[in-house]
Each structure stands twice: as structure tokens, then as C-alpha cells.
Chains A and B, each alone.
Chain A
Amino acid sequence: MPSPRKIPVIVALGDFASGVTSWALRLREAFADHPRYVIRLMNCADTGNRIGAFDLSATTQARASALLSACGEAIVLPNFVWDLFPVCAERVAAGQQLRCVGFCRADSEEEYYAPLRWYAPLCNQFAGVSPVCAATLAEQLALDSSRVHTLPTGVWVPQSLKRAYQTAPLRLAYGGRVVQAQKRVLDFVPLVEKLYRAGVDFRFTIVGAGRQRDELQAALAAVDPDKRVCFEARRKPEAMAAFWAEQDVFVQASAFEGTSNSMLESMAQGAVPVVTRTESGVDGIVHDGENGFLVAVGDMDGMASAIVTLAGDPERLMRMGHAAHAATVPYSMEAYVEKFTVLLDAAMADSPRSWPADCPIVPPKPFHGIRLAKDDDAGSEKGRIAIVFPSPLRGGAEDYTLRIAAGGVRAGYDVQGAFPGKTALKGLIQDYFHVGAFHNTLEICDVGPKAGQAPLYKRFTRTLRLLRRLRPRVVLFQLCGMQYGLVSLFAIAWLRIPTLVVFQLVRDDLSFSILRRAIHRWMRRRGQQYVVVSQANRRLLARAFAMREEDILCIPNGVDLKRFANNPENRTVARHRIRQELGLPHDALLCLTVGRLSPQKGHDVLVPVIPHVVAAYPNVHFLWAGDGPTEKVLRKQLERYRAAEHVTFLGKRDDIPALLQAADLFVHPARFEGQPFSLLEAMAAGLPIVSTTASGITEVLDHDVHGLLCRPDDIGALRNTLLHALGDLARMADLAQSAQKRVEDFSGDAMVAQTLAALEALAERP
């Protein structure tokens, strides 16, 4: 007698190592012999299949639809792949027997509650990874308790604990994403500092990757002279059990959690959790002082003192380790399979739910999570725009593409970003999603430390492959530097796709060989139109390519004037907050510089000026917002000039408007420029400006009318100008006011409208 067909349970997730991935892999293993259900893992992230253990793969809605269609009757757990819900709705509408389970994995409004509220009509059942998550879901969605299941993650729990503990050194470990947003990994810096101060003999292993890894590594290096902290790349999920068995303490500083997979995994192997008391995910699992320690979020004194206690009491360490192991028994995979089966059975007992006909299924703003491209064809009403750029870092030029993307989405285009998926660009990728655009990984970065490492043909084929797949109507190619991106441009020309090539930056000394000019001429004949952001750049570009100036479009950059407009109340608050945050006196005069830390921006020209400025005005402090390749060099240079204490490196900041409000002077020592966004933003914020006359700056600012300008790359001139400005701040405030009026001519909306019009005209060109 043939065995009955098992119901496939499609679990959507991303192709990256995380707690969810390891949970999914365990789930599939645990369900291998299940009589009714079979777990199928679907990779929805376009990141090149790193894990390599998926059953299905779909990065577009069409592909997902086809896969679901082939599954027949099934249950779908979209997790955080929210775009899968509309696909399910479409399949249900087509008559397929699909049930959906809404899964809440963290106690977060933005990440889970809001999207689940939106897609609730499609969900047959709901699950929360902690009682808090489940209760909040039930409350917010006004659900019957029978439809909401509490399913803390399941882990493999060994029957008995056979392991050793040690306190010299005490082995601390953290496993998870190295990000500040949720995991607060930068709290480890004061923790390590305090452990050193307390004389604890420890070793701290951090396993994982994420946005703040480099930053954390750099910060820890400063407080860890004995190199007791080590970083490990991601480990495969199946290797983690062995890793945890060799650790004594699990530390976690998260601001919020669902139920931490790594915490449960580590506890199952006998590691003692010393974690923050999050709203969700610890209650009922960690009992303070019995099987672990709970401290308030951000309380690294408390965390350090708990670790000191464990380091000084090996017996307690062992006792608590065994108690931690015992506490995970209810979370064993065996128990989990039972609970999960109940959830699936409940879903199957319900009928497939269809989306209400009178409601739009597309949310007004995309939710956090993995996105699926709409389909393989340019399906939106105005067609598809691809925005391509070869930059590894986020700066003004990259944010420019975001504004165009947002404008394009608003105007009804399907906007597809195509740029490297580097760590430094993760935030931009998220922002692309937020504005309703998509990101496609295109590794064509030939700048920065890896310049020249990828063979040219790879950049060519990658660009060709992606654009063939996307089939955009028109491309916007943003060049951060004129010398980059030739190969990708060549690939686009090969495909004859109309392309607006935007030169955000043109160096004064730009020149090309005859061969390269000929290549560019050929590409222009195949539909490439050049755009510059200033008249100065237009002249330079025309000279470099030996072409007519009128054949180059000039669309000046613009800013969102409202976002940066100053407000006396906000200003007072921002001034106080920023000074307090940075530990600066209330009367400190802040000179702010915003821009990538690269030779182009001229921070190194400012360094020799600083000792002279602080000698004349001891209350001046310099703030440098932005990151970049020359940070180490600049730090060394500041040491050499004994100016390190007068400069604070702020790194990449999201609160530039607040910084502009808090500062007293904007210093922009650029060597060459297109038309810098940061300067326009400072103008919009009404901040007095000292800048250089580099390239297009003089088209925005007139010397002694809107600010003070000096020769670029001239230390003496910058010193004199800065001293002059600080000596007459009242006059500078007058200049700032006129600059604020002037910047009204450079609105972001106008820039976006002109760019979209240029794209449209190019697409329409015969």
C-alpha cells in the first residue's frame, strides 16, 4: 500500500548564517521521519547560496509562485520574506490549497508585528517565539488564543552533560549577528575594559558577521592589549554544538530578542548565560542567579560583575552550567516537533484564506526583510530602471542613487538597484527596500583595497548577466570616480540599453588615452548620455573626452530642504544632546566635517591646521562624520600633530541633521568635488561654512557671501580662513543665512524630477 503523501511545509528564509537558519536546518532534520509533514527550505536571498543546504530557491515572485504551484497542497511559513504573502494570495486565488503561518521571531513592531498585522488576513495560524511575542500578536491582532502558538526555538539537548569547565582562562563566547541595532555588540567594549580592570583571566570568542564587525574589532583592539578577544568567521550550524561545549559563559547584550537561538544552543551544551533582561526571550528560561545572570540592557557593570563572580567560583560555574543545561530540556527538538506538529495540524484544519478583494495587498511602505523581485519582466507601469554603481562604500553619491530610486518608485517605475553587497552598503540596501526599490548584488567594485583583484571579464559578465535578467528600460549608472566602471559601462553598451551616466565627481587632472576616448565614443553612440552635477565638471569632462560641452547634461545636486531646515528648539536640544553624548563641555565650539575619509575630502589638509586653531581657540573641537579607507592614516597623522584629542571620529552617522544643528561651523576641506551633498545640507541647516573652491563648489557658494572659501589643498589658506571664521562668528551667521536662501535653488525634488525626465527622454530616444 503506497504511503500517504506528506504535506510539504515551505519555510522561507535567507541564505545567511543566523539563528533562524540553524533553527530551520534543525527543524528539517527533526521532521525527516515525520509521518505527515516534510520540511522544505526555500532560499529567497540573492546572495549566491552560501549555506548550500536548501531545497528550493526563489528570488522573484514569479519563481516563488511556480515553486509553490508545483508543491500542490502545502503550508507556507514566509518568516520575514513578506513578499511571499502576495504570492500565496495569488496561488490561493488560483485555487491552490495553501495555508500560511505568520511567524513572529522577535519582539519588534517594525520587524514583525507591523507586517504580520498587514498580512493577517492570509494567515491560518500564528506563532511567536516567546510568550511575549505570542501575547503581543494576540493582543494586536485581536486573535483567538487557539490561533496563536508559543513556540520558543528548539535545540538539540544532550541527554547528559559531559564537559569540563575552567576559570583560567574563563571562556566567554558570543554567537550571532555582529550588529549594534538589535544585538548591541558595541557594549562588549566597556565589558572587556571592565573585565581587564577587575583582573579576570578570560578569553572571549565572538562568532559571526555583521555591519559593526570592523568597528567592534577596532574598538576592542584599543582596550584589549593582551589580545584576549578573538573573532571567528561564521561557523556552520552543525559545528556550533561542539563550539558551545567548549565555552563556559554565553554573553549577549541585546536590546530585544524573540528567543535567542544561540543562547538556547549554548545553554543546552552547559554554557552559563550572562545576558540582558530583554522583554522577550529570557523569562522562564534564564533564572537569575540559578542557571545564569540577567542584567539590564546596557548595564555592562552588572554583566562584568556577574562574570567576575563566575570566574572566582569554579564550583558555582559548574553548578549553574548544569542548571542551564537542565533548563533547556523543555526546548529540546523532540518536544519542539510535537508542538510544531500541533501548529501545522491546526493550520491544515483550517481552510485556505484568500486576500479580501477590496483591499490592496501591497503595503504603503515595504517592510523590513528579504524582498522578492516582482517578476522577470519589467512589470510596472512605467517600466524598469536599473541603478548601477561600482562603489564599496556609502557616501553622498550613493545616497544620491537612493533619492533617485525613491523618486522613481514614487513616479511608478520599478526600480532595481545593482551594486556590491558589501558590508558597508548593507544599510543602503535596507534603505533601498524601505523606499520600495530592490537590490541586486553586482560585484563590480573596482575601487578601494580590492581594486584590480577581480578580473575584468568577471565584471563584464556579471553586469551582462544581471542586466539580461533585469531587462531594464533604462539604466542610471552612477560613477563615484571617473576612472571606475568602464567594464560595466561597456557591458551595458553591448546590450544597447539607454544609459544615463552620472559623474558625481570629476577630477581636475582627468585625462584619457586616445583608446579610452574611442571606447567611450562608441559607448555614447550606443545610447549613453553623460550627466554631471556642476558646470565646472562639465568643462572638465568635455575636455577629457574631447566632446562638446552642450552634449553633456548638467543636473545640479539637491537636498531635502525640509529635513535639514533648522529649528531653534531642535537646535538647542541637538546641541545639548551631541555635546553630552560626546562628553564635550557645553560651551565647546564644534567644527563639523561630513564626508568619506578619503584623500579627496582633504581631512589630511585639515590636520595640520588643528593645532593652530586650538592654540587660538581652546574650546574648539572637531567632529568628523563618515568612514573610509584613510581612517587609520588620519588617526596616525593626528597623533603626529598632537591633535588627536581635539578630533572625534563619529563614523557613519544616520543623524546628520542633528549634527548639523549641534555644530557651530561646517568645515569642508575637499581637494576636488562634484557638487557635495554635505555642503548643501549644511547650507540648508543654516550652518556657517568654511570650504574650498574645489570644482563645483563656487557654483553654489560665493566667497564672503554665503561662506568663506579658500584654495583647495592649501593648509595655510585653510588655517587663515578657519581662524578668521572663528574670530567673527557673528559675521559667519549672516553668511549662513544668505547660504540658506541660496540653497533653495538646489532642492532634492528638482534634482530627482530632472533626472527622471532625463531618463525618460533617453528611454524614448529612437
Chain B
Amino acid sequence: MSETQRPRILWIHPGGLLPVGGGGAARTWALIGCLRDQGYAVELITGDQGEYNEALEARVDHLWIENRTVHSAARPSLKMRVRESLKTLYKRIDPELRMLHRLSGRVPLLLPVETDLLKRNRRRRLEQFAAAVAYKNPPLAAIVSYAWLAPVLDHMPPGTLRIIDTIDIQYKRQETAAVAGGNLDHITCSREDEARELGRADVLLAIQAEEGATLKAMCPRKEVIVAEHAHPVPEYVPSPEGSREILYIGNRYDPNVLGLRAILDHVWPEVRRACPRATLTVCGRVGEAFRRNVPGVRFAGQVPDLAPYYQRAAVVLNPVPYGTGLKIKTVEGLAQGRCVVCSEAGTGGLDNPGSLPLVVADVRGEMAREILRLLEAPIERHALEKRAWDFARTRFAPVRVYGALLTRLAAQRPR
């Protein structure tokens, strides 16, 4: 099919797609990949991502960057430098601001912290930019990631299929955190506000069936399609027999931080006592929340490619105490053909935990024992890995996961 014949889909994303730092980005790439495989030209509209722009360009049919900075060898202007410094500073003090906010309770702060998630993350310039792109050549469909980008859809030309990939149900995040003892007070979102934003779309993508039902209840007039995460499944390679490496991947996000803290406090000492050769590798920004040296733990930070880490790992952990949406790191672990040991919340969005080829264990209870068992018994481990891989190959195949969405898009295409 020639380029001009391929139906265009605009994908509007706020940024942070590369390096893949969290489940949201991973899911977006999986969906984009699937759509391109199915013959759609996917054009990505996003913010400037500096050195990653080239890599982004390679993964989509066209890249539109709002407010692109011209990278040159020349020294940036003073204004730009001050702006960049302030941005960096803000990123650094962000946790402290949150702390202050938490301490202050409901007392109005002098600090300008906007907690309303939908307001805080709204990107008015991106909306205008997306409109300019869309009206130049109207697309078949426009997909935005997250509810807070929904206003972008109001700027799409008539006839465009407007889709929100919700990824999470925002108003539930705080609720779930409170129940599980977490704290997401720095982000607030009411059900009404979220429903209003979601109402801007024609189609809502839910990442799992339960959330699909919730979305339907929130927006009864809207079409809801459940589109889980379809992860590419590489060839199965068993974990090295003598591997004692445990892998934990996570973005800097409260449930991940709490999960890792629980591992370090309750699981890791016991594992190390029983198996001194065991190592724990922590990939992703979650490590930034831990400023201590723990024997046997390596904080790798954000890495460009997770494949080598998966290859070396004997066990993959997902100990999150709570969360919404689908646990993408669990899906990834399974698709990589690795033994996943997770908390019950770590199976969120998947099938009945008992039917899954993974180990569900309580962090404060048997998790350490389960990890040790898998480390010490390679035959049993390999069998579980193979089952996981087989399961992922069928369960997370793109055509199965995204079938309903593909059908909907096909129906939108002019005959």
C-alpha cells in the first residue's frame, strides 16, 4: 500500500516516550506498532524530547514536535539556559514539594502546586499544535494518551474518530492508594471531572475489562473497547541455570517505591541470608527514591534496553501494593519468558491470579521463600518460564488484544 493510501492516525502523547520509563510508554509503543503493522500510518504529535527525537522519528510514520528546540553547536541563549536550569531544579525539588504539601494538609500553601491532575497536565499549546496538524490533512482517527489530553480531541476536524487511550482510571488512583496505605495526595481528580473529559471522545480504550465496565458506567453513551497490553514475545531462551539475579523494573511512582521498599525491608534480607550470591537489579527511576547502599542491590537507573537484563534474570519481581490499570511489568516479565513473582495487586487487570503462570506471594510472608525456591530449582523454574512464555504468546498476541479496536478503525475507513 502506498504512503498516500495508508489511512492516517494521529497519536497525541504528552511526552516521555523514550527511553521507555514506564508502563504507559510501553503500552503506547505496543499499540503504535500494531497499528503500523496493520497498515495505518501513525503520526506522533508530542513535545520536544531533545536527543530522543531521532529515535522517535524512526518508530513512527511522521513525527510532529510541538515547540521543537533547534539543537545546534552554538551556546544556547541565557533565557534558554535559565529556563532549563529552572526545569532541572524543579524536577529535583519535586519530592520535597510533595512532602511539604503532604505536611501542610489542607492549609493553602504558598507553594504553587496544582494538584488537579486534569488541570495540571493540560497542554494548551499542544492542543493548538495538534489542531494545526490535523486541519492540514484531516486524519482517520486521533488517539490521545490519558484523560488529561482529552481537550486535544475538541480541536480535531469533523469526521475524525476521536479516541482516548485511558491507560488508567485517574479518579481511582488516589482512592486505591488510600486503601492500600499509599499516598497520591499530590494528584487529585474527581469522577465527574474525569467523566467530562472522557466525554470528549467517541471511543474509550480501557486497558482491562474491569476498567472497561467502569468507563461504561462513567460515560454510558460512549463506545468502550477493551484493549489490553500486547507485548511482543521474543524467542524463548531459558534463564541461565546458575543465575541468581532478580530483576525489578519500575518508574518513580508511589506503588513502585512502596513495593521496592517492602522488598528491601522484608524480602531481601532473608534472600541474602539464604543465598549470598543473589543480586537484585533495579532498573528505572524508582531507584532515585532510594539513597542508600544495600548489599547485593544494584540501581541501574533508566536503561536504553531491558533485553540484556531480562536475559540474565532468573526471577522478575512486581511487588506493588496497589495500582490501577494493567500491570504492564507483569505482562512484560511473562512475555520475556521469565518467572514472575508478584503481589496480588501485581496481577491487576489480568485473569484470575490462580490461572496465571506466575507466583503470587505476600511481600511480608512467603515471597522470600518463593524467590529462593525458584533460584535454587532451575528445572522447576524453567518449566514455569516456558509456561509463562506460552501463555504470553497466545494471551497477549496483538490481533487478539487489539482486535476490537482494529475492527472499529476499519469501520471508520471510507468505503
The answer, yes or no, to whether A427 is at the interface (CB within 8 Å) is: no
Taking a contact as CB atoms under 8 Å apart, the answer to whether A642 and B159 are in contact is no
Task: Determine the distance from Cα of A642 to Cα of B132 in the docked complex, in whole angstroms.
Answer: 10
Residue on A nearest B136 in the bound complex, by CB: A640
B135 touches which one: A612, A615, A641 (CB < 8 A)? A641
The CB with the most chain B CB atoms within 10 A, among A611, A615, A716, A719, is that of A716
Residue on B nearest A720 in the bound complex, by CB: B199
Taking a contact as CB atoms under 8 Å apart, the answer to whether A640 and B131 are in contact is yes
Q: Mark B126-149, 1 if CB is under 8 A from A, else 0.
A: 001001100100000000000000
Q: Mark B183-221, 1 if CB is under 8 A from A, else 0.
A: 000000000000010011000000000000000000000
Taking a contact as CB atoms under 8 Å apart, the answer to whether B154 and A716 are in contact is yes
Taking a contact as CB atoms under 8 Å apart, the answer to whether A615 and B131 are in contact is no
- Interface of chain A: mostly helix, strand, loop or mixed: helix
B154 touches which one: A615, A640, A642, A715 (CB < 8 A)? A715
The answer, yes or no, to whether A608 is at the interface (CB within 8 Å) is: yes
Residue on A nearest B153 in the bound complex, by CB: A716
Contacts of B395 in A (CB 8 A): none
Within A594-633, the residues touching B (CB, 8 Å) are 608, 611-612, 615-616
Contacts of A714 in B (CB 8 A): 154
Contacts of B261 in A (CB 8 A): none
Within B226-284, the residues touching A (CB, 8 Å) are none
Taking a contact as CB atoms under 8 Å apart, the answer to whether B154 and A719 are in contact is yes
Q: Mark B356-377, 1 if CB is under 8 A from A, else 0.
A: 0000000000000000000000
Interface footprint category on A: 10 to 19
Given A608-B154, A612-B158, do A716 and B135 touch, yes or no (CB 8 Å)?
Answer: no
Contacts of A611 in B (CB 8 A): 135, 157-158
Task: Determine the distance from Cα of A711 to Cα of B132 in the docked complex, in whole angstroms.
Answer: 24
The answer, yes or no, to whether B155 is at the interface (CB within 8 Å) is: yes
The answer, yes or no, to whether B325 is at the interface (CB within 8 Å) is: no
Residue on B nearest A718 in the bound complex, by CB: B154
Task: Determine the distance from Cα of A611 to Cα of B158 in the docked complex, in whole angstroms.
Answer: 7
Contacts of B155 in A (CB 8 A): 608, 641, 715
The answer, yes or no, to whether B151 is at the interface (CB within 8 Å) is: yes
Q: Mark A638-650, 1 if CB is under 8 A from B, else 0.
A: 0011100000000
Residue on A nearest B154 in the bound complex, by CB: A715
Taking a contact as CB atoms under 8 Å apart, the answer to whether B158 and A640 are in contact is no
Residue on B nearest A604 in the bound complex, by CB: B128
Task: Determine the distance from Cα of A409 to Cα of B159 in the docked complex, in whole angstroms.
Answer: 58
Question: Closest Cβ of chain A: how far from B410's Cβ, in Å?
Answer: 23
Contacts of A641 in B (CB 8 A): 131, 135, 155
Given A611-B157, A611-B158, A612-B158, do A715 and B151 touch, yes or no (CB 8 Å)?
Answer: yes
Task: Determine the distance from Cα of A611 to Cα of B131 in the docked complex, in whole angstroms.
Answer: 12
Contacts of B154 in A (CB 8 A): 608, 714-716, 719
Contacts of B128 in A (CB 8 A): 640
Question: Closest Cβ of chain A: how far from B219's Cβ, in Å?
Answer: 12
Contacts of A711 in B (CB 8 A): 196
Given A608-B154, A640-B132, do A615 and B199 touch, yes or no (CB 8 Å)?
Answer: no
Contacts of A715 in B (CB 8 A): 151, 154-155
Taking a contact as CB atoms under 8 Å apart, the answer to whether A640 and B135 are in contact is yes
Question: Closest Cβ of chain B: how far from A605's Cβ, in Å?
Answer: 9
Q: Mark B296-333, 1 if CB is under 8 A from A, else 0.
A: 00000000000000000000000000000000000000
Q: Mark B32-44, 1 if CB is under 8 A from A, else 0.
A: 0000000000000
Question: Closest Cβ of chain A: how far from B123's Cβ, in Å?
Answer: 14
Q: Mark A487-507, 1 if CB is under 8 A from B, else 0.
A: 000000000000000000000
Residue on B nearest A612 in the bound complex, by CB: B158
Given A608-B154, A640-B132, A719-B154, do A615 and B200 touch, yes or no (CB 8 Å)?
Answer: no
Task: Determine the distance from Cα of A317 to Cα of B5 in the docked complex, in whole angstroms.
Answer: 62
Contacts of B135 in A (CB 8 A): 611, 640-642
Contacts of B199 in A (CB 8 A): 716
Contacts of B200 in A (CB 8 A): 716
Q: Mark A261-274, 1 if CB is under 8 A from B, else 0.
A: 00000000000000
Contacts of B159 in A (CB 8 A): 615
Question: Closest Cβ of chain A: how far from B317's Cβ, in Å?
Answer: 42
Contacts of B153 in A (CB 8 A): 716
Task: Determine the distance from Cα of A156 to Cα of B222 in the docked complex, in whole angstroms.
Answer: 81
Within B147-177, the residues touching A (CB, 8 Å) are 151, 153-155, 157-159
Question: Closest Cβ of chain B: how far from A660's Cβ, in Å?
Answer: 28
Contacts of A615 in B (CB 8 A): 158-159
Residue on B nearest A715 in the bound complex, by CB: B154
Task: Determine the distance from Cα of A616 to Cα of B159 in the docked complex, in whole angstroms.
Answer: 11
Contacts of A640 in B (CB 8 A): 128, 131-132, 135
The CB with the most chain B CB atoms within 10 A, among A608, A642, A711, A714, is that of A608
Chain A residues close to B by CB (< 8 Å) = 608, 611-612, 615-616, 640-642, 711, 714-716, 719
Q: Could you list 18 further interchain pairs (A-B, Cβ under 8 angstroms) beyond the known A611-B157, A716-B151?
A: A608-B154, A611-B158, A612-B158, A615-B158, A615-B159, A616-B158, A640-B128, A640-B131, A640-B132, A641-B131, A641-B135, A641-B155, A715-B151, A715-B154, A715-B155, A716-B154, A716-B199, A716-B200
Interface CB pairs A-B, < 8 A, 14: A608-B131, A608-B154, A608-B155, A611-B157, A615-B159, A640-B128, A641-B135, A641-B155, A642-B135, A714-B154, A715-B151, A715-B154, A715-B155, A716-B200
Please name the 6 residue pairs, one residue from A and one from B, whose CB atoms are nearest each other, closest first.
Answer: A715-B154, A615-B158, A716-B200, A716-B154, A608-B155, A612-B158
Chain B residues close to A by CB (< 8 Å) = 128, 131-132, 135, 151, 153-155, 157-159, 196, 199-200
